[in-house]
Structure 1
Amino acid sequence: MLPRIIFCIAVIIAILTVVLLALLSPIAHQKTSKNSRPWLALSLYIQQPNTAITNMQPVAASDADAFIFHRTLTQGPENTSRVIGKAQGFIIPVERFALSTFNVIYLTFNTSEYSGSLSVHVKHVTHKDREELTVVGGTGSFAFARGFAAFEPSDVNATYHVKLQLRFPNRSQSIPR
């Protein structure tokens, strides 16, 4: 009979402990709002090739053209800026850009701050000279990234300015900057 009473008391103490920890824990009272996670903003440039022969390769697709491209990502708009990675993709020309589900751009980073890649897909064309795309995932430093990418022509050397707004779900630590 005594072991049964001791067992019941131990169960009651265990239940009370769990309930008290749930009520008094500071973690339980923190807001876990989706909007409380910080955004990471990056600004970079896609450079045009320096050579007379472009590495933009047109690919015929019935009556429409598509372009497969390989470009350099730099920190600044000048072609002498620090190289931070590369941009590769497959796009449909501007007049059909918003209607295509095949517009895919991969941004690959290789720096001491960031190592990994981002996959960017078309969202919608906001106006003639700017495309807004959706970041749908990544690898390495950008694992599980979500967000937006705005592509617009730069005033320097026919480059494209890319502005990224990234969010990382369920990440307990921030990316090193």
Structure 2
Amino acid sequence: MLSRIIYCSAVVLATTAVVLLALFSPLPHQSSRATPQATLSFYIQQPQPGSSAVAPHSVGALIFHRWLTEGPDNTSRVVGKAQGFIIPVEGFAHSAFNIIYLTFHAHDYAGSVSIEAKKLAFKEEEELSVVGGTGSFAFATGNAVFAQIGRQASNMDASYHIKLNLDFPDNFERRKF
């Protein structure tokens, strides 16, 4: 009987301790400044007829080089380039080679963003992961939403609107965006 009273007392004391700790513990430390973020919007332009901006190879690799512009028109200001090497063949579809690089050379920002294209399904809208960057985009993570503009005969010949949602480390000295 005494052991049962001791056991019940221990349970009541443990429960009381947990409740008191939950009520009177200090709140977790919260930083006064939020994680730096940036949202950018650009366009990948469709290659001109007869250009070699897209070069599918016999083994199924898709290698491309396109211009990034501020607006949807081909006459918009060029702010960089989009390059990629994608192997949509089943055995390589999830390989580390499937990366899209966006390189920027504008006055306000310079550097590159690497976007993982392992889950590329060639849909009208794709959300892919940003896995790093250089220069103004050093240590960037986040996502990139690629939305096809208009209807095209082939997804390889399409123009895209890209919306980058980037996060940076807390100690990142944010540059001008």
Structure number with higher strand proportion: 1
Residue of 112, 115, 138 corresponding to 1:143: 138
**Cα separation, partners in 2 of 1:123 and 1:149, compared to 1, 3 Å:** farther
* TM-score between both structures, scaled by the size of structure 1: 0.70
Number of residues paired by the alignment? 144
| In structure 2, C-alpha distance between the alignment counterparts of 1:123 and 1:88, rounded to whole Å | 15
Deviation at 1:57, TM superposition (A): 1.0
In the alignment, structure 1 residue 100 sits paired with structure 2 residue 94: yes
**Cα separation, partners in 2 of 1:44 and 1:100, compared to 1, 3 Å:** same
Residue of 78, 83, 108 corresponding to 2:78: 83
**Cα separation, partners in 2 of 1:172 and 1:30, compared to 1, 3 Å:** farther
User: Is the 8 Å Cα contact of residues 45 and 160 (structure 1) preserved in structure 2?
Assistant: yes
**Residue matched to 2:56:** 58
**Residue matched to 2:163:** 163
**What amino acid maps onto 1:80 in structure 2?**
T
Residue of 38, 41, 65 corresponding to 1:40: 38
User: Is the 8 Å Cα contact of residues 78 and 156 (structure 1) preserved in structure 2?
Assistant: no
Task: Encode CA deviations 1:15-74: one digit per residue, 9 max, x unaligned.
Answer: xxxxxxxxxxxxxx96139x931320011000112232332111232xxx1210110000
Task: Encode CA deviations 1:129-177: one digit per residue, 9 max, x unaligned.
Answer: 2222111111110111111011120139941111100011133532213
**What amino acid maps onto 1:37 in structure 2?**
T
Give the gaps of 5 or more residues in structure 2: 1-27, 153-157
| In structure 1, C-alpha distance between the alignment counterparts of 2:151 and 2:51, rounded to whole Å | 20
Question: What secondary structure does 2:61 align onto?
Answer: strand
Task: Encode CA deviations 1:114-137: one digit per residue, 9 max, x unaligned.
Answer: 100111112645883222211111
| In structure 2, C-alpha distance between the alignment counterparts of 1:100 and 1:36, rounded to whole Å | 34
User: Is the 8 Å Cα contact of residues 94 and 118 (structure 2) preserved in structure 1?
Assistant: no
**What amino acid maps onto 1:162 in structure 2?**
I
Give the gaps of 5 or more residues in structure 1: 1-28
- Percent identity, aligned pairs only? 50
* TM-score between both structures, scaled by the size of structure 2: 0.70
